[in-house]
Amino acid sequence: MTVTATAPTTTVRTQKRTLLDFEGWEAAELLALLDTTDVMAQVLTRTIKKVPALQGFTVATLFFEDSTRTRLSFERAARAQSADTLSFAAGGSSL
């Protein structure tokens, strides 16, 4: 069985920085968010769970305090979008 994710039908640029509070969101912004979640849900059903959004880009992470779970979560998210990752931990460095 082949499942193909389609791009969201609604494209809206937003400057929202949190998903904890939807107060002040326009209807178009909410619809665009829901369209995007539908596409990402389809990606999770694939054998290879990656999207090419950051293909060809490198995401660098810099942590001043050791936080393995956070670092791994950020790296995993970047790789899920096909990015290369570069990690730097200041705790083990001579910064």
| 59-92 pLDDT tens trace | 999 888 878 888 899 999 999 889 999 988 776 6
pTM of the predicted protein model: 0.56
- Contacts of 55-61 with C-beta under 8 Å, sequence gap 24+, read 55/81, 55/82, 55/83, 57/83, 57/84, 58/83, 58/84, 58/85, 58/86, 59/83, 59/84, 59/85, 59/86, 60/85, 60/86, 60/87, 60/88, 61/85, 61/86, 61/87, 61/88
Ramachandran angles phi, psi of 40, nearest 5°: -65, -35
Q: What is the pLDDT of residue 36?
A: 85
Q: How do the domains of the chain map onto residue ranges?
A: 1-49, 51-95
